[in-house]
């Protein structure tokens, strides 16, 4: 418990320092757009608070907090979709699946947790639309968009909550390790792209993603993972390095995928696109990929999960 408290104290001081430095840089360089970085810093504080509640009080508090996070992330994703009244009924069923998904985590029923959304919910979602006899126009886009939202914003992010139930001894620290490296990877990628990025990966969807940023963030994230893993994980040196690479690459594809989805859904709606710059999606995009990837790789190679 003492080591956990010391870790929390060090992270708190680090976050405070980063926040102060960010404010100084922001004021000294008003011509730069730091919107994305601002969102990341807020996410760090939010995740830190959830982690503190989870370790000092009860894992259920963390479970409920992450369930609320999934709800708002999904709500934001659906707000980008151009829908008709009939389509919104599918959204209702999607929202109702969130507490059920988190109940499987609370019950520690891994088998149902892993198949509930990608099998049962996916197979059920088209049925109300079919029985409603509202026609076939827009059927595929409506159903697939609903399913994509659930897969990323609920199924992917819900893995964050399962860590503590799968491994009470290491779970909280593994979540902290995952979130710390994922958010660090995003920030380093953003900063390198801002000052040195020339070759954009997807310039029409997200100009903050560049190949220079990807390479630089991968190196920095893997290096930090090497120094941090002995304090937050039970990994050996080899997997400590591999985990840094895994999180960095997974975060890159997560951010890229969400960026393209947002671009596709918001074409022609510049007003909504601007209003969603500081959205939940912008803060958790990378975690939608890194959370399930990190969880299942650990579960496959280590017995403590």
Same domain, 41 and 176: yes
Mean pLDDT of 226-233: 90
Asked whether residue 258 carries a pLDDT value surpassing 80, the answer given is yes
Rounded CA-CA distance 206/228 in Å is: 30
| Pick from 90-104, 176-190, 217-231, 254-268: least confident | 254-268
Same domain, 38 and 178: yes
Between vectors from CA 66 to CA 64 and to CA 69, what angle results, nearest 5°? 115
- Domain housing 94: 60-166
pLDDT at 118: 94
- Average per-residue pLDDT in the chain? 83
Please indicate, yes or no, if residue 303 is contained in any of the structural domains.
Answer: yes
User: With bands split at pLDDT 50, 70 and 90, how would you rate the model's confidence at 55?
Assistant: low
Structure tokens at 2: 């003492």
Mean pLDDT of 93-114: 95
Same domain, 158 and 185: no
List phi, psi (to 5°) of 201. -80, -50
pLDDT at 42: 72
DSSP, collapsed to helix, strand or coil, labels residue 83 as: coil
Same domain, 199 and 254: yes
Same domain, 304 and 197: yes
206, 218 contact by CB (below 8 A): no
Number of domains, the chain:
2
Same domain, 142 and 192: no
Same domain, 107 and 146: yes
Mean pLDDT of 153-170: 91
Q: Model's pTM, two decimal places? A: 0.85
Query: Where a domain ends, among 166, 200, 228?
Result: 166
pLDDT at 59: 76
> What DSSP element (H or E) covers 271?
helix 270-275
Query: Where a domain ends, among 166, 194, 226?
Result: 166
Query: Where a domain ends, among 141, 166, 191?
Result: 166
What 125-128 contacts at long range (C-beta under 8 Å, 24+ apart), as own/partner pairs, is 125/90, 125/93, 125/94, 128/89, 128/90, 128/93
pLDDT at 271: 56
């Amino acid at each position: 418990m003492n080591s956990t408290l010391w870790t929390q104290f060090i992270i708190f001081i680090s976050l405070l320092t980063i926040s102060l430095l960010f404010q100084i840089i922001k004021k000294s360089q008003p011509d730069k757009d730091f919107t994305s970085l601002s969102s990341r810093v807020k996410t760090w504080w939010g995740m830190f608070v959830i982690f503190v509640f989870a370790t000092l009080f009860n894992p259920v508090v963390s479970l409920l907090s992450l369930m609320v996070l999934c709800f708002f992330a999904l709500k934001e994703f659906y707000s980008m979709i151009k829908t008709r009244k009939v389509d919104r009924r599918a959204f209702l069923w999607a929202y109702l699946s969130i507490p059920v998904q988190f109940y499987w985590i609370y019950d520690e029923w891994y088998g149902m947790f892993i198949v509930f959304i990608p099998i049962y919910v996916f197979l059920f979602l088209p049925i109300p639309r079919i029985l409603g006899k509202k026609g076939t126009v827009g059927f595929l886009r409506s159903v697939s968009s609903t399913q994509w939202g659930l897969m990323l914003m609920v199924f992917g992010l819900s893995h964050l909550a399962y860590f503590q139930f799968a491994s009470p001894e290491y779970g909280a620290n593994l979540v902290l390790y995952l979130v710390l490296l994922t958010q660090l990877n995003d920030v380093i990628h953003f900063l390198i792209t801002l000052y040195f990025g020339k070759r954009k990966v997807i310039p029409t969807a997200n100009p903050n993603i560049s190949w220079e940023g990807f390479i630089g963030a991968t190196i920095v994230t893997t290096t930090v993972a090497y120094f941090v893993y002995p304090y937050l994980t039970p990994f050996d040196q080899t997997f400590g390095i591999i985990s840094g690479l895994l999180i960095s690459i997974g975060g890159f594809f997560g951010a890229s995928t969400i960026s393209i989805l947002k671009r596709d859904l918001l074409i022609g709606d510049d007003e909504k696109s601007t209003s969603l710059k500081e959205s939940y999606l912008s803060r958790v995009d990378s975690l939608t990929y890194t959370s399930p990837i990190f969880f299942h790789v650990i579960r496959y190679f280590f017995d403590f999960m």
